[in-house]
Chains A and B, each alone.
Chain A
Amino acid sequence: MTALIELSHLTKDYGKFRALSDVNLTLHPGVTGLLGPNGAGKSTLIKLLLGLVKMTAGTGAVLGHDIVKEASAIRAKVGYMPEDDCYMHGLSGIECVQVAARLSCLPSTEGLRRGHEILDFCGMGQERYRNVETYSTGMRQKLRFAMSIVHDPELLILDEPTSGLDPEERQAMLNRIGILSKKFGKAVMICTHILPDVKVVCDHVAILAGGEIRLVDKLAALLESPSPSVTVSLLEGADLLLDRLVAAGLKTSVTGHEQLQVEGETADVSSKIWEVAAASGIAIQNLKASQSSLEEVFLNAVKETKNANS
């Protein structure tokens, strides 16, 4: 599988401050979530990928182009949606998208046609003819997304794409990202703090903290529990079932309100759990293989950095 982004020993210093330290990262096609606390170096990493700032040390390539020597070629193939509330002053929405298309070398008329098409895709109606200064945060967010995809990029870098959107719009935005990725094979890198969004759309996750890549893996692999176990959810009677399961020789613990965790492979323990519950007259609401939460994975990765720093 060809790597979309390959970074090797990438380091970036701002004066005496080291923003990125010896970053090694290989990203493959699909949707990758780049997670990290504030000040982790995510924005610096994006600027380096786009060739907007120069690295202090290391090498890197995006879509096969060197990030130092071929920055212009990279920017022609990449669509970037900034997190900042930035806009082109004095222009209407459709003019902004047309300008974005023309800056990526689409002909003027084609830029206008495609601009309308993309704004339709992004769910923008007649407000496209209004001046962008009058737009709400959510509308500007959609406009920036439209500007980032108008030139049909191979790789999309989206910085906080769902921040400032209401739940309905957030879902619509995630659907659009899903369509671009699954239906049109676009590679997407999403920088976000909203972990539920990552769980919905991402295939891979990279966690950046303290200027270092702490973790890169498939999302499914990260969510697998370190030791196999089964989570049992009940409406009532958790204490009674706990006692009965322990008495039956199963290693069981309480993990939440009316929720138990039973250690062992699902296939091995599930039939025994059902039997004990039936014998005890307790109704099981849900029974499934346990997963680690993404929050847990994220916090552990960040904590490791803090511990290493201290």
Chain B
Amino acid sequence: MPIHNLGYREWEGERLSGGSRWTVVAGIGIQRAWQNMWLRRIAFVVWAAPLMYGVLIFFGEQYLTAQSAVVPPGADRLLAQLLPDEAMPEIRQTLGNLNQMSPEERLTVVRPVLWKAVLLALQRSQMLGLVLVIGLVAPPLISTDVRSRAFLLYFSRPLTRFQYIFGKFMTVATFVSLVLLLPQLLLYAFAVLLSPDISVVAYTWDLPLRCIVMFIAVATPAILLALMLSSLTVETRFATFGWFAIWIFGLVAYMVMFNTNQDVSGIVLRLGVLFLLFGDVAVKVLGFSGVGSNFDTQIIFVIALSAICATVIFRKVSAPMKA
């Protein structure tokens, strides 16, 4: 017997409240996922985009705070390349009225529009990161627990099914926020720091909140969809394939229709292709006018998708207990 072996001893310490049990599940998931080298690489690379848009905001601030602001030739073409199509009508309208604006109006009117457009552009560029990160993190989360029959180890403790699923959800949400939400909030903070005074917050205070709402509206259904795929199989690779197939096939369908000059504003396409669905939701949450006028339908679809996925996950997680 080792000299440090104290044998069995009773434990009489104070136990923590049960509300934090989901953090244990999330902690395991985060620890395991972070061992993936590709995930670490992606988490590093996705920070390149915020840096680029930070430079754009820097020059924008320099321009707006200059004594005489005249729209330089070629600016429209440059902005059209850098910013999403949905933001351009409002940008053009605002810049068109620039000559009639006082320096103060330039800051209070033009700045929020420009920042919103930059945040939307950042969101678009980070969508690839979202797909990759969820594709790496979510598929093994439930499928490996089913395969290794870890359910009995979890649920023989005072852990509820909701806490288990919420812990898994928060595992993915942590990494998604790292590539989607955090860069946006830091970009906003960066933009505030570049501004001449703190009064800019009074005109743009809603932008961080919109970023958070946008994150919730986009990340929640995406994470639940990936977790549902994970709960449907014991083979992680099948869940991974299903996740990427949904995005790739949707994108291919959109590109085929777009390149053959077919109408891409139809509701079926904009609901079925997740890039378009989440893109449209983000556009609306940031306050731009979107491609179609189906925002209500899209929001209902997003909520229904989330509810269906959550129901399936609950049922699949409960199933091994009933066997």
**Do A72 and B11 form a contact, CB below 8 Å, given A53-B322, A88-B150?**
no
For residues 128 through 177 of chain A, which have their beta carbon under 8 Å from a beta carbon of chain B? 144, 147, 149, 151-152, 176
The reply to whether A184 and B28 contact each other, CB–CB distance below 8 Å, is: no
- Give the interface size class of chain A: 35 or more
Q: Which residues of A contact B2 (CB under 8 A)?
A: 120, 125
Q: Are A179 and B322 in contact (CB under 8 A)?
A: no
A276 within 8 A of B: no
User: Is the beta-carbon distance between A103 and B157 smaller than 8 angstroms?
Assistant: yes
A47 at interface, CB cutoff 8 A: yes
> In the complex the two chains form, is B32's CB within 8 Å of A90's CB?
yes
**Chain A residues whose CB sits within 8 angstroms of the CB of B21 once the complex forms:** 102-103, 105
Docked complex Cα distance between A52 and B159 (Å): 11
* Residues on the B chain within 8 Å of A76, using CB: 15, 157-158
Q: Which residues of A contact B17 (CB under 8 A)?
A: 105
Mask, A12-47, CB within 8 Å of B = 1, is 001000000000000000000000000000000001
Q: Which of A85, A114, A180 contacts B11 (CB 8 A)?
A: A114
Q: How many angstroms from the CA of A52 to the CA of B155 in the assembled complex? A: 7
* Cross-chain pair count, CB within 8 angstroms: 115
Asked if A75 contacts B156 (CB within 8 A), the reply is: yes
**Is the contact region of chain B dominated by helix, strand, or loop, or is it mixed?**
loop
Scan residues 218-270 of chain A and give those whose CB is less than 8 A from a CB of chain B.
Answer: none
CB distance from B20 to the nearest CB of A (A): 8
Contact indicator B11/A106 (Cβ below 8 Å): yes
Query: Does B160 belong to the interface (CB within 8 Å)?
Result: yes
Q: Give the size category of B's interface with A.
A: 35 or more
Residues of B within 8 A of A296 (CB): none
A94 touches B (CB below 8 Å):
no
Residues of chain A within 8 A (CB-CB) of B300 are none
CB–CB A72/B158 < 8 A:
yes
Residues of B within 8 A of A (CB): 2, 4-13, 15-18, 21, 24, 28, 31-32, 35, 140, 144-145, 147-160, 321-322
**Would you mind naming 24 contact pairs between A and B with Cβ atoms under 8 Å apart?**
A14-B322, A52-B321, A53-B321, A73-B158, A75-B158, A76-B158, A80-B152, A86-B149, A87-B150, A88-B28, A88-B145, A89-B145, A89-B147, A103-B154, A104-B157, A105-B16, A105-B17, A106-B16, A117-B6, A117-B9, A120-B4, A121-B7, A147-B153, A184-B8
Shortest 9 CB-CB distances between A and B: which pairs? A86-B149, A105-B15, A80-B156, A103-B157, A152-B11, A120-B5, A89-B144, A82-B152, A90-B32
